Copies of this chain bind each other. A is one copy, B any other.
């Protein structure tokens, strides 16, 4: 997905949020904002939005000299989500449709964004989880997801944020996890999960965890390592969490299930849904017996 003009005000807003989180020095704020204005002015709008996010957060790390400004926030997010883990696990165990419950929780994890933009008051978390578990749900795409998981020999699960990956763990525990490889970012960017987070929440004990070699807040294939790209190419099925991954991979010729909340009008328009709608959507069905595959999209909205 390309950058839309509506993304520009949002990049600036995010830059301000991020740099103010990282430092209180107002001169640094202004320096970074002016650099981002220049970056946006000369950017190629055909790039995916996370390519700008990647440059903005590199700039913030460079200007502040802090290689991982969100480390504490990520630790807090992981700890908070791990506290919820036992009760969420119980809800899945006691569910008559445990896979569906786990997918709903995985979406809830993205909705809450255990990172930069959420105050994470206990009430909101509980509310979001209850909403995700009880919202209307079209079972069609879930059945497709279950079938695709069964059919696949290898599943590459692209993680998103720290904290949220506890919810990913809950979903992966409902999948045939010997097939699953979980992917984290190659190095810190924003509150995205890295290997350290996967270890903290116990994912490394459950499945193979690899990193994508990149510091983009999404999966920009050309920014990833050759090893990751090889794994991506040879996986039968991709599960991609969050908006950043949707923005990078929505046009890729692979069988991808996107799990996310539409957090901005641009994405919502692109998905044909409302803002804050919770989404499980398949990119396209690539049927090896039909050259080129079937190209229609299917989706379920919470």
A interface residues (Cβ-Cβ under 8 A, vs B): 5-6, 8-10, 12-13, 16, 29-30, 33-34, 37-38, 40-41, 45
Contact = CB atoms under 8 A, between A and B. Distances in A.
A65 B19 CA distance: 39
B16 A12 contact: no
A29 to B, nearest CB: 6
Given A34-B41, A38-B41, A16 B10 contact: no
Contacts of A41: 34, 37-38, 41
Nearest to A14: B9
Given A8-B33, A9-B10, A9-B13, 8 more contacts: A5-B16, A5-B29, A6-B16, A8-B12, A9-B12, A12-B12, A37-B40, A41-B41
Q: How many copies of this chain?
A: 2
A37 to B, nearest CB: 4
A208 B13 CA distance: 44
A25 to B, nearest CB: 12
Contact of A8 (B5, B6, B37, B38): B37
Contacts of A33: 5, 8
A38 B13 CA distance: 17
12 contacts: A5-B16, A5-B30, A8-B12, A8-B33, A8-B37, A9-B9, A9-B12, A9-B13, A9-B16, A30-B45, A37-B40, A41-B41
A34 B30 CA distance: 19
Contacts of A37: 8, 37-38, 40-41
A301 B286 CA distance: 62
Contacts of A34: 41
Q: Which 10 A-B pairs have the closest CB atoms?
A: A37-B41, A9-B12, A9-B9, A9-B13, A37-B37, A37-B40, A8-B12, A5-B33, A38-B41, A34-B41
A241 B33 CA distance: 31
A13 B9 CA distance: 6
A16 B33 CA distance: 19
Contacts of A29: 5
Contacts of A30: 5, 45
A3 to B, nearest CB: 10
Contacts of A10: 9
Nearest to A40: B37
A151 to B, nearest CB: 41
A10 B12 CA distance: 9
